[in-house]
Chains A and B, each alone.
Chain A
């Protein structure tokens, strides 16, 4: 797979970070077992660093692993959205800045496999190429070229921090930030529907959910030792396939993320049933902005609105 050639840079940088003892472990991406995938890679030696890659298939938010390595000095290859998650973890004191070596990578978007699969269907993808702002997908029978904007994840189309806000090392040149984007265009469209229409849409979407918890496990900010859904004493909810059980989990998870969700989309990408989770989370991000003037994952020194009390908290919306 041809990429921008950043792979060798990343391997050199990580090898020297490990060599110089700046980190005990660097979390990055390696080529996946399928042409269309990458996979998280844990490099502990310069030799292991030689497997690292960076390209628009690097869809996982690796910040999710940081809370597993508390106390160790960890390097992490982080896109703009991943760094927003890291800022969230720093705000909530789940990790220490001094323990981290952030290798920031400017990013113009990660490919949404599901968008490509809609076109390619069951035809096996045999090769991927990145050709000057386009994704070339080859199968046995045909080749198709997609402009990157057509196949990147929806969150990437509205990304506010394509360049990581915080980093120790920056790899590659900075990219231009998106201008004049309304992060919440889709949400506003949704809000224009009637309550009944919105409920029906939500209900049908959640019927796809099988309560596998991939969304929770992929999310860097779902780090609770015991998730509310697993608590038996008191038992907050059942875990069956009843609509109410599924909706309860999803709604409460979203509320627990309200004001904290950075909009990285990792949950949606992890979901095996293609539930459009991040659209609802995006609504909570809109609320955080409009009600509290707050955007998650931007300023390490601020706090999510629902976790901190301020005398001058806006409250005109409380009727």
Chain B
């Protein structure tokens, strides 16, 4: 069985671990390929995911949080679920431990559709990971000029639960993007916006003219954000979502992750709202 075996992961080593939130159950793992040649083979696009593979424990499909232009490493931001064997085990791993990465898998955010447009990025909680990869990518000096105005609306339950805090601060200081951070409930030290993401989206009211919106977050956030975007005039084809589903093979064979006739692992996880409307509401 040669290199084409899609069930065998690449091997990487944990180079850095960042605890992202106050509850300490969201960590960003920076992974470096043991074989640098394999890093070159792993050319991902923003929005794709990989199956993180812990030998003896199993695999977990996680969105790739680093940009394709972050050439030396891959980053994955993972929330620990107490019932999840893989996420719980991974959270106990240390720098130097070996993690398998199988991928890149799935489709990507429609960069070609986004070119020349105003890009609105709306994220919530820890589902912000692939959006963060996208932001890093389109803000890169190689790419920035391809896109017009970039607006980011990102929220979390509380200030402590915001992830990528340092990066958020950096983006807020840039003049070539507009960043709105909100929390459901602030605390003593919080001087920023307070309110659910859908409400803030309505308040910011990004124009839908020549614009495309990428939305990713907990189901309830997405459910209430999409109508706000529709009110603002975003057509269903211009509202882009990323879904998650229980997965195993990640390559469209094991039959587990389908919504209607689409497999989230190969036909998704990125779907436009127009596509979602055509799918059975079973997710």
Residues of A within 8 A of B (CB): 232-233, 235
A209 to chain B, nearest CB (A): 22
CA distance A235 to B83 in the complex (A): 12
What residues of chain B lie closer than 8 Å to A232, measured between beta carbons?
83, 85
Q: Which 6 A-B pairs have the closest CB atoms?
A: A233-B85, A232-B85, A233-B83, A235-B85, A233-B88, A232-B83
CA distance A233 to B88 in the complex (A): 10
Q: Which residue of B lies closest to A232 (CB)?
A: B85
What residues of chain A lie closer than 8 Å to B88, measured between beta carbons?
233
Render B86-110 as a binary contact track against A, CB cut-off 8 A, 1 for contact: 0010000000000000000000000
What residues of chain A lie closer than 8 Å to B83, measured between beta carbons?
232-233
CA distance A233 to B58 in the complex (A): 12
B126 to chain A, nearest CB (A): 21
What residues of chain B lie closer than 8 Å to A233, measured between beta carbons?
83, 85, 88
CA distance A232 to B88 in the complex (A): 12
Residues of B within 8 A of A (CB): 83, 85, 88
CA distance A233 to B83 in the complex (A): 7
B276 to chain A, nearest CB (A): 30
CA distance A232 to B85 in the complex (A): 7
Q: Which residue of A lies closest to B82 (CB)?
A: A233
B87 to chain A, nearest CB (A): 11
Q: Which residue of B lies closest to A234 (CB)?
A: B85
Q: Which residue of A lies closest to B86 (CB)?
A: A232
What residues of chain B lie closer than 8 Å to A235, measured between beta carbons?
85
CA distance A249 to B241 in the complex (A): 42
CA distance A232 to B82 in the complex (A): 12
Q: Which residue of B lies closest to A233 (CB)?
A: B85
CA distance A265 to B222 in the complex (A): 50
CA distance A235 to B85 in the complex (A): 9
6 intermolecular pairs with C-beta atoms under 8 Å apart = A232-B83, A232-B85, A233-B83, A233-B85, A233-B88, A235-B85
B139 to chain A, nearest CB (A): 40
CA distance A165 to B240 in the complex (A): 62
Q: Which residue of A lies closest to B83 (CB)?
A: A233
A154 to chain B, nearest CB (A): 38
CA distance A20 to B83 in the complex (A): 47
CA distance A232 to B83 in the complex (A): 8
B59 to chain A, nearest CB (A): 13
A38 to chain B, nearest CB (A): 32
CA distance A24 to B252 in the complex (A): 43
CA distance A232 to B58 in the complex (A): 11
A234 to chain B, nearest CB (A): 9
CA distance A235 to B57 in the complex (A): 10
CA distance A233 to B89 in the complex (A): 11
CA distance A233 to B85 in the complex (A): 7
A270 to chain B, nearest CB (A): 24
CA distance A178 to B3 in the complex (A): 68
Q: Which residue of A lies closest to B58 (CB)?
A: A232
A229 to chain B, nearest CB (A): 15
CA distance A232 to B57 in the complex (A): 10
Q: Which residue of B lies closest to A235 (CB)?
A: B85
A225 to chain B, nearest CB (A): 14
CA distance A233 to B82 in the complex (A): 9
Q: Which residue of A lies closest to B81 (CB)?
A: A233
What residues of chain A lie closer than 8 Å to B85, measured between beta carbons?
232-233, 235
A233 to chain B, nearest CB (A): 5
A248 to chain B, nearest CB (A): 19
CA distance A161 to B85 in the complex (A): 47
A70 to chain B, nearest CB (A): 25
CA distance A233 to B86 in the complex (A): 10
B247 to chain A, nearest CB (A): 15
B33 to chain A, nearest CB (A): 29
Q: Which residue of A lies closest to B88 (CB)?
A: A233
B57 to chain A, nearest CB (A): 9
A163 to chain B, nearest CB (A): 47
CA distance A232 to B89 in the complex (A): 13
B256 to chain A, nearest CB (A): 15
B49 to chain A, nearest CB (A): 21
A19 to chain B, nearest CB (A): 38
A265 to chain B, nearest CB (A): 33
CA distance A235 to B88 in the complex (A): 14
B201 to chain A, nearest CB (A): 37
A100 to chain B, nearest CB (A): 34
CA distance A74 to B88 in the complex (A): 43
